[in-house]
Structures are given as structure tokens and as C-alpha cells.
């Protein structure tokens, strides 16, 4: 009974932290404090195998599903009921069904098969759509954005086709795509250290996707990759990663943000300086335990509509595990800016509120 009362007390604290379900941004939020009790706390990393560039979705069955760049070949699929405990349940592709570069790609001079990077999962028109980057390290003009379809978040995913490649959109290193929908209009944001761009898409009933090249527009400078978008209280927040992603303990990846009242920008920092000029606010950087903190998924909401960030990082004591997945709570200050407490990964923190009506 005493343990139950302690649990209820901690639950009450969780439910009153960070402004609850209010989304007005008018009240300065209290960060969730660090705790050690295993009943109400979790510890980073939440996925302790190599799972870089995570993307996640809450599916129709109520579970969260997470996909990652293929350090685990053919794109791993993880499932969780609470954003904390994850199990690998599938791969999106097999060796027989995995996508590759279009035949005859003139930039693929050595006829090297594509690696699959930076997947992005969405539910569109009754289908789970997995966007992905086909890439070769250091060969920027061969970059291609493709997509595959499934009736289930665990797949199997059937390759449908390509959205575009670097030559078609004239953007070097056209990877790290992010799909966004608003008022029936579809958009893709993308880019990696050669400018961040946005463009409208046409999606036919048979899921043929056609980019509207005439709508292409640059919205951020050359410091960024791994972008995603979140809309809150009339602002669009453009999250991005800067620095080096993949140098083990020397990685400098840092998560940053800018915001705009207009989807097409300009995105600015707190001083009004533009992301087009590589100005931003820092959300998250490394500390004495984790480095290379970046390429976050689109924010996840728990059942209290609090926001959470899944991202990857190297754990300095376990560099051999490569980039693992971490989870941290995103608060919003009284000016509507997102922040993670101390701008660094947490070790122990309160869990998200999932299925709170069942507690």
C-alpha cells in the first residue's frame, strides 16, 4: 500500500510538470526532475543497440514503432507500448525486397549498391509509408529519396518508387527527407549541409508521388541536416542537427531549432536571426556521458500530450555499441520555445504518461 501511494504521488508530480495538456505556451514550464525509482523512472539509452537516425510513429494499434538507418540491415523495426521498453519485431525489407539506386544512375560510377539511411515513417491515406534515403558515403550527387508501402507498421514494405534524386532537384546530398501534411497539401523537407529545402508533392490515389519542382524553396542554410517540423500554437518549429554525426567519441552532433509563423519561413532564433544564415537555438548537446546527440525523430506525444524527443547518441563508455537511441522530455518556455533541461541528455527521468486512464 505504501509503495502504491508513492507511485500515485510520483504520478501526480508527472501530471503537473511541464504544463500538463495545456498547449498555450503562456506558462513557464517546470522540467521533469531526475528520479531513481524504477517504477516511475527510466534510464537512457532506451534502445541499447545501434539504431541511428530514428523515426517513430504511434500506430493505430496504440503501440509506438521506431525505424532506423540500417546498421541493422534492411531497416530495423522496433515496437514499444511506453516509449521506454523497445523490442525489435521485424525489418522493413529483406535482401530480396530492399531498394537500390535506379538502373543507369550516371553518378553511381562504380555500380555500388545503395545504403538505406534516415527512414521516415508516416500514415497516409490508409497506408504506412516509409520514406528513405538511398546513399553512398561521400558521393553526394547519387543521393535518392525513395518510398515503400505497407498495410502494417511492421511490414513487409513494398518498394513503390522514387520521389526524386539529387540531380532532379539540383540539390547536392538530397537525403534526410521529412514528410509534412497540412490542410490536404503534402510537402517534403530535405537536405544535408548543402541547404535545407521544402517542396510540395502530389500524391495520386495509386500512391504515385510527383514533386512539384516549381515550388522548391530553401528555408535554412548549410549548417544543417536531419531536420523535422513540429507545429505548436501558431508556430512552425524547424528542428535540425549540426556538427559531425559519426565520429564516435569525437562526434559533435548538436540538436538545434528555429521557428516561423509561416511554413515557408523565415525560420529565426530568439534574436530574429535567420536559419538561412545558419542562426538557431540549441536544444541538446553532449555531456560527459553521451556525445553526438542528434537526428531526432519528429516529437512524440504521450497520453497527456506532453512532448518527447527520440534521438541518437554515442555512449562514451560503450562506443562499440555505436549510436543508440535516447529519450528526453521536451518542455516549452513562457515564450513558446522548446527546451530540454540543461540542454543535455538525462540519465534518469520520469516516464511518459501512456494509457493514463488505465493506471
Per-residue model confidence as pLDDT tens digits over 89-137: 999 999 999 999 988 788 888 889 999 999 999 999 999 999 999 999 9
Residue 165 — pLDDT band, cuts 50, 70, 90? very high
Q: 181: part of which helix (H) or strand (E)?
A: strand 178-182
| Sequence-separated (6 or more) residues with CB below 8 Å from residue 126 | none
Tell me, what's the pLDDT at 109?
80
pLDDT of 322 strictly over 80: yes
Residues pairing with 225 in the sheet: 241
pTM for the model stands at 0.90
Largest CA distance in the chain: 69
Q: Residue 227: exposed, middle, or buried by beta-carbon count in 10 A (0-12, 13-18, 19+)?
A: buried
The pLDDT tens digits for 5-19 are 333 334 434 433 454
- Output the pLDDT for position 11: 40
User: What's the mean pLDDT in 139-149?
Assistant: 95
Percent of the chain predicted with pLDDT > 90: 82
- Number of CB atoms found within 10 A of residue 305's CB: 12
pLDDT higher at 82 or 109 = 82
- pLDDT confidence of 161, banded at 50, 70, 90? very high
What tens digit of pLDDT does each residue of 344-353 get?
999 988 999 9
Phi and psi dihedrals of 267, rounded to 5?
-90, 130
Q: Pick 2-358's CATH classification: 2.60.120.10, 2.115.10.20, 3.40.50.300, 3.30.70.420.
A: 2.115.10.20
Amino acid at each position: 500500500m505504501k509503495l502504491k501511494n508513492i507511485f500515485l504521488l510520483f504520478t501526480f508530480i508527472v501530471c503537473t510538470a511541464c504544463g500538463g495538456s495545456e498547449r498555450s505556451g503562456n506558462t513557464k514550464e517546470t522540467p521533469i526532475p531526475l528520479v531513481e525509482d524504477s517504477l516511475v523512472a527510466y534510464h537512457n539509452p532506451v534502445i541499447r543497440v545501434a539504431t541511428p537516425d530514428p523515426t517513430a510513429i504511434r500506430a493505430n494499434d496504440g503501440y509506438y514503432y521506431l525505424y532506423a538507418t540500417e546498421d541493422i540491415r534492411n531497416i530495423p523495426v522496433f515496437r514499444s507500448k511506453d516509449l521506454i521498453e523497445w523490442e525489435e519485431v521485424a525489418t522493413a525489407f529483406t535482401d530480396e525486397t530492399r531498394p537500390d539506386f535506379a538502373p543507369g544512375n550516371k553518378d553511381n560510377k562504380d555500380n555500388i549498391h545503395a545504403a538505406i539511411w534516415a527512414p521516415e515513417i508516416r500514415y497516409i491515406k490508409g497506408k504506412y509509408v516509409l520514406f528513405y534515403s538511398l546513399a553512398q558515403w561521400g558521393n553526394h550527387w547519387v543521393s535518392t529519396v525513395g518510398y515503400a508501402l505497407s498495410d502494417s507498421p511492421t511490414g513487409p514494405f513494398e518498394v513503390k518508387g522514387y520521389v526524386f534524386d539529387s540531380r532532379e532537384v539540383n540539390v547536392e546530398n538530397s537525403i534526410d527527407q521529412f514528410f509534412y501534411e497540412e490542410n490536404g497539401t503534402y510537402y517534403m523537407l530535405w537536405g544535408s549541409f548543402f541547404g535545407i529545402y521544402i517542396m510540395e508533392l502530389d500524391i495520386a490515389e495509386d500512391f504515385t508521388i510527383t514533386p512539384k519542382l516549381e515550388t522548391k524553396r530553401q528555408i535554412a542554410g548549410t549548417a544543417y541536416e536531419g531536420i523535422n517540423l513540429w507545429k505548436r500554437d501558431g508556430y512552425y518549429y524547424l528542428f535540425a542537427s549540426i556538427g559531425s554525426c559519426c565520429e564516435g567519441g569525437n562526434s559533435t552532433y548538436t540538436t538545434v531549432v528555429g521557428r516561423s509563423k509561416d511554413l515557408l519561413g523565415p525560420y529565426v532564433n530568439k534574436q530574429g536571426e535567420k536559419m538561412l544564415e545558419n542562426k538557431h537555438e540549441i536544444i541538446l548537446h553532449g555531456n560527459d556521458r553521451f556525445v553526438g546527440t542528434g537526428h531526432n525523430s519528429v516529437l512524440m506525444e504521450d497520453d497527456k500530450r506532453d512532448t518527447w524527443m527520440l534521438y541518437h547518441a554515442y555512449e562514451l563508455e560503450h562506443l562499440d555499441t555505436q549510436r543508440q537511441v535516447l529519450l528526453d522530455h521536451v518542455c516549452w518556455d513562457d515564450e513558446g520555445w522548446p527546451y530540454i533541461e540543461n540542454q543535455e541528455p538525462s540519465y534518469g527521468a520520469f516516464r511518459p504518461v501512456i494509457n493514463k486512464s488505465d493506471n
